Amino acid sequence: MSAILNRRSALGLTGAVGAAFTMFSSHEAAAKIGRADVEPRGSDGILERLPTLDFESYDEFSTSTRVWINTDLNRAAERRAVKILRANGLNPREEVSFETAIDLLSNDPIIDLRNHTWQRLQMHMWRELRREFYDNYDMYMSEMEAADNNGPGVLEINPGIEPEYTKHEIHMQPGGYTGDEFAGHLYHYGTNNFYNGQNYQDERHVALATAVPTPSDGKIKRILDMGCSCGQQVVALKKRFPDAEVWGLDIGAPMVRYAHMRAVDMGVDVNFRHALAEESGFPDGYFDIVTSYLLHHEIPEEATYGVINEAQRILRPGGVYFPVDVYTNPGRRQANGTGMQRIRDWMTHRWNHERWWYEYQKADFFGEMKRAGMNVIEGGPKAEVSSQINMNGGFANIVGVKPA
């Protein structure tokens, strides 16, 4: 492990004082602040339950409210959009420009209610999650520190490697993926909410791991998941391919720290590296399979091309790249650009701080895979997984194979 920076090292708490801090077990830390333990209420399957019923019920409430917004309120807003478009002589099934959609739809009270209820709920969710983790800083931090050097897998942290673009607060997550020590905790419980409460047991990631295409010669020694966040797909991949050496890579140090802790807790032998996907540091031809899930739409176009080329470099001949994202097919979004989709795209970009949403949609993803030297198979195993992963039009519709 290269190094781990946290509040204690930042404060210069080294030597005996630092050691005293680091020796705290989560149980001792919890006792000091009057909490029974980090996991006083055990687990629900593989999900560590939140420490109090009060907080857990808040979390359930915000998840259910999101489900309501994503179903009933969405439908009401969509009906409204159809009416407004028709009243303006437009066919709701046909494409409209972003400018027209924003102009006609963004000030309608029902559409606005949908958009702002969604946005405020998200802000409130982050605030409450963050308050829980920071109110109990030592308890949660001690638990993570206790796992840092434990196995079975390894954790590699490389301080100071984050380029500016990775510091952006996508989804309004405070501190983003790189700037908050509890980014992994926040992201895991936050995305339980994003996924409408349907990923508590990593169902989405298990479905994705099941759908990963394998090299035609059947040899699978090493697998990498790029932009792995809290490592759910990494664990699912190890379960499908128990004999393989499985790695997760992410530019968020707190993300891989949390991922590692979770894998240690679960006793799963997987490894995590804090690195840029476009500069992974792995040798040429090291992997048989490289995956990424929801990475590309969150990075600039140039970085997307960098990641594709890096995947090609670290795959061995015959190896497979399986990128799954909100959109990987040039032209698809444009063809589906009805008024309500346009307004949601705009909201996502403007209010959910998806900074590269439009840039990504314009990127020549397939073209770059071909230019990098991959044989591109369109279609992919989408049907098998679409019901599990279909979020914001998540597509498992493409596979790149490095020629043998």
Q: Note the residues at the interface with ligand SAM (CB under 6 A).
A: 166, 177, 205, 226-229, 232-233, 249-252, 255, 276-278, 293-295, 298-299, 303
Residue 401: closest CA among 284, 293, 312: 312
Residue 261: closest CA among 280, 227, 225, 235: 235
> Which is closer to ligand SAM, CB of 6 or CB of 233?
233
* CB 202, min distance to ligand SAM, A: 9
> Which is closer to ligand SAM, CB of 217 or CB of 302?
302
Residues sharing a CB contact under 8 Å with residue 127, sequence separation 6 or more, in sequence order: none
3-class SS of residue 39: coil
Q: For the chain, what is the total number of helices (H) and then of strands (E)? A: 18, 10
- What does the longest C-alpha to C-alpha distance in the chain come to? 75
> Which is closer to ligand SAM, CB of 110 or CB of 266?
266
* CB 46, min distance to ligand SAM, A: 14
3-class SS of residue 135: helix
- Report the sign of the C-alpha dihedral through residues 114, 115, 117, 122, in that order: positive
Q: How far apart are CA 119 and CA 319, in angstroms?
A: 41
Q: Which two tokens stand for residue 84?
A: 């407004």
> Which is closer to ligand SAM, CB of 144 or CB of 249?
249
Q: Which two tokens stand for residue 394?
A: 């998540």
> Which is closer to ligand SAM, CB of 101 or CB of 295?
295
* CB 205, min distance to ligand SAM, A: 6
* CB 77, min distance to ligand SAM, A: 25
Answer whether 180's CB lies under 8 Å from 186's CB.
Answer: yes
* CB 326, min distance to ligand SAM, A: 10
* CB 7, min distance to ligand SAM, A: 20
> Which is closer to ligand SAM, CB of 30 or CB of 295?
295
> Which is closer to ligand SAM, CB of 92 or CB of 300?
300
Q: Which residues pair with 321 in a beta bridge?
A: 290, 400
* CB 113, min distance to ligand SAM, A: 27
